[in-house]
Amino acid sequence: MSVIASLHQDLVFNRRVRVLSQALAELLPRGATVLDVGCGNGLIALLISELRPDVTISGLDILVRPETHIPVEAFDGSRIPRADNSVDIVMFVDVLHHTEDPDAMLREAKRVARQGLVLKDHTRDGFLAKSTLRFMDWVGNAHHGVVLPYNHWPERRWRESIDQLGLITIHWQSRLGLYPWPASWLFDRSLHFIARLDQP
């Protein structure tokens, strides 16, 4: 692991996981079955489960790691291997910007989810947003072998896609506090969001 990646792990990753787990846990319906698509090793899902023992979370990923914190099944990255309306919530945590076609994955999630979607991703808005997001993506993911198309959308594009899918935004939060000061000044800003999108 490089020095930059090691610093990221020590100074950023642990706080990010804790903050995101808390925020996402609050968005899940009571007793929900949740499919975490692109879950990595499942650590965030595990922490959500500890905060919300009433929910059941399983995972999908293109690359299943040797050790995972939740059950993880491999999939092809394009079609979610679940029947229509088979889980309550489909969750994507910093996944859609790694895909070539986020709209296609959102359509798949809508097909599978009875109640809705929970997203955490980025918005490419503001000063040097594109280069900042590319740097963050590379530091956090390159050493894991994650595909990096840097497909970051501005908020306007996210909103258009959500509207076209007919999903209802019931929660949108763009100030998450993922980074300690002074890193927050550069890496938080309005570059992140979490959202709960419900079926009509």
Domains and CATH numbers, the chain: 3-198 (3.40.50.150)
List pLDDT tens digits, range 47-56.
Answer: 999 999 999 9
**Bridge pairing between strands 113-122 and 56-61:** unpaired
Cβ 113 vs Cβ 90: under 8 Å: yes
CA distance 194 to 151: 17
Q: Which pLDDT does position 9 carry in this prediction?
A: 47
**Bridge pairing between strands 192-198 and 113-122:** antiparallel
Average pLDDT of the chain, as a whole number: 87
Q: Which amino acid is at 48?
A: I
CA distance 188 to 200: 31
Residue whose token pair is 């993880």: 72
DSSP assignment string, 48-113 = HHHH-TT-EEEEEESS--SS-SS-EEE--SSS-SS-TT-EEEEEEES-GGGSS-HHHHHHHHHHHE
Cβ 26 vs Cβ 80: under 8 Å: no
Residue 61 has pLDDT above 90, yes or no: yes
Among 82, 84, 102, 104, residue whose Cα is nearest residue 94: 102
**Stronger pLDDT, 32 or 146, i.e. the higher one:** 32
Tokens of 182: 């002074």
Mean pLDDT is lowest, of 3-17, 67-81, 130-144, for 3-17
Tokens of 42: 């499942």
Cβ 163 vs Cβ 193: under 8 Å: no
List pLDDT tens digits, range 97-127.
Answer: 989 899 999 999 999 999 999 999 999 988 8
Inter-CA distances, 67 with 14, 43, 53, 63, 72, Å: 18, 11, 22, 12, 10
